[in-house]
Amino acid sequence: MTQEKPLPESLVRISAAAEAAGVSKQTIEYYVMLGLVDPVRVEGSSGRFFDDGLIKRIRLIRELNKSGYTLRDIRETYLTGR
């Protein structure tokens, strides 16, 4: 039996990150697919973990997108040098 590494308290699973950021889990999955965010830690196919910095980033992406910026514009203009 494989023992999982302990999870730092500062990291949360994708579902908790979605709730904290005010978006759906699918929205975060879409942002990951587009390269807008990258999980801090990945374990297997279902263990993606996010920290407070990424949750803030997800909120920023959502707000910019709601105000009219395309996700491409956000990635190219606001998230370069990440």
- Please give the order of strands across the beta sheet that includes 41-43: 12-13, 47-50, 41-43
- For the ranges 48-52, 59-63, 68-72, 74-78, the lowest mean pLDDT is seen at 74-78
Residue 71 resides in a domain: yes
Whether the predicted pLDDT of 44 surpasses 60: yes
**pTM attached to this predicted model:** 0.80
Residue span of the structural domain in which 50 resides = 12-78
What is the SS3 assignment for 30-75? HHHHHCCCCCCEEECCCEEEECHHHHHHHHHHHHHHHCCCCHHHHH
With bands split at pLDDT 50, 70 and 90, how would you rate the model's confidence at 62? very high
Give the pLDDT score at 7: 57
Residue 33 resides in a domain: yes
Domain count, the chain: 1
Separation of alpha carbons 23 and 70, rounded Å: 17
Residue 7 resides in a domain: no
As a whole number, mean pLDDT of residues 30-35 equals 94
Residue 4 resides in a domain: no
Q: Residue 26 has which token pair?
A: 């699918």
Residue 6 resides in a domain: no
As a whole number, mean pLDDT of residues 15-30 equals 96
Phi and psi dihedrals of 59, rounded to 5?
Answer: -60, -45
Give the pLDDT score at 8: 63
With bands split at pLDDT 50, 70 and 90, how would you rate the model's confidence at 77? confident
CATH label of the domain that carries residue 26: 1.10.1660.10
Residue 38 resides in a domain: yes
Residue 5 resides in a domain: no
